[in-house]
Amino acid sequence: MDISPLLISLKVSFIAVIIVFFAGIFAAWKVSKISRFKGLADGIFTLPMIMPPTVAGFFLLLIFGKNGFVGRFLSFFNISLVFTFSAAVISSAVAAFPLMYRTSRGTFEQLDRNLIYAARTLGMSEIEIFLKIVLPNSSAGIVAGIILSFARALGEFGSTIMFAGNIPGKTTTVSIAVYSAVQSGDRENAYRWVLIMLVISFLSITLMNYFEKHKMKFIKKPFGGDEKWGFTLILRKTWEIFALKFHLKRKKKHLESSVLQEAEKA
């Protein structure tokens, strides 16, 4: 079985989540602070969640296509985004953005206002307040937002197929692979991809429920010892796992090549 759709899906979602993480939190912070046009800004940022994905894809084509204003600008540098990997990332990011934005805005607004007021009277600047007080105390909600938007990015289909197309090994994600498998009557493959998708979705929901349940503990009580707060710990552990995997992979390659070399010598 060709597992490239899974790899592409994971890669696309991963990059999309990184973009959405910063964009969503930034938008949430700005919107929770403005007083005028709050409803309008909120509406625009939430729109991709309510809009049919095909409509979103159509808009993306309009903007990034040959005659779109971004597309024309990019064509100066000989870059065309339509039907590329980047297009898949953009589609997923657009779909996932509202989830990140809404969950983080929710937690920002739930935060005890007095904490912010206290910080202001203590002479802290707005940026400092955001980085040192708002973000750390909203970590549980932000983690939930990351998981939700990751799941959404992974499942994106409508705008991806319009904007990024279905190019095997390049833009074919799992959800598109399911579609083409069913279209071509390849039931067996479709079942496989559906199963994989189900497992991933289920895992994300479980993970999110775990964070919801342990919210208070998560914020207030650091896991043992000198750990600052859970969020950085999770990030570090994930990094460690990745690093370890990478290390093992390199070691394996190294071993393989040395075995090959020895075989050649022999």
- Provide the binding-site residues for another protein, judged by CB under 8 A: 112, 114-115, 117-125, 132-133, 136-137, 219-222, 228-229
Task: Provide, rounded to whole angstroms, the least separation between the CB of residue 113 and another protein.
Answer: 9
* C-beta closer to another protein: residue 78 or 114: 114
Residues 49, 47: Cα–Cα separation, whole Å? 5
Task: Provide, rounded to whole angstroms, the least separation between the CB of residue 124 and another protein.
Answer: 7
- DSSP codes, 228-245: --HHHHHHHHHHHHHHHH
Residues 104, 87: Cα–Cα separation, whole Å? 25
Q: Which residues neighbour 117 within 8 Å (Cβ) at sequence distance 6 or greater?
A: none
Name residue, tokens 């409509």: 55
* C-beta closer to another protein: residue 123 or 224: 123
* C-beta closer to another protein: residue 7 or 115: 115
* C-beta closer to another protein: residue 50 or 216: 216
* C-beta closer to another protein: residue 217 or 251: 217
What letter does residue 68 receive in the DSSP assignment?
A: S
Q: Count CB-CB contacts under 10 A for residue 215.
A: 17
Task: Provide, rounded to whole angstroms, the least separation between the CB of residue 126 and another protein.
Answer: 9
Report which residue type is found at 168.
P
Q: Which two tokens stand for residue 108?
A: 């920002």
Task: Provide, rounded to whole angstroms, the least separation between the CB of residue 233 and another protein.
Answer: 13
Task: Provide, rounded to whole angstroms, the least separation between the CB of residue 216 and another protein.
Answer: 9
* C-beta closer to another protein: residue 223 or 242: 223
Residues 143, 107: Cα–Cα separation, whole Å? 11
Task: Provide, rounded to whole angstroms, the least separation between the CB of residue 130 and another protein.
Answer: 13
Answer for the pair 159, 87: CB distance below 8 angstroms, yes or no: no
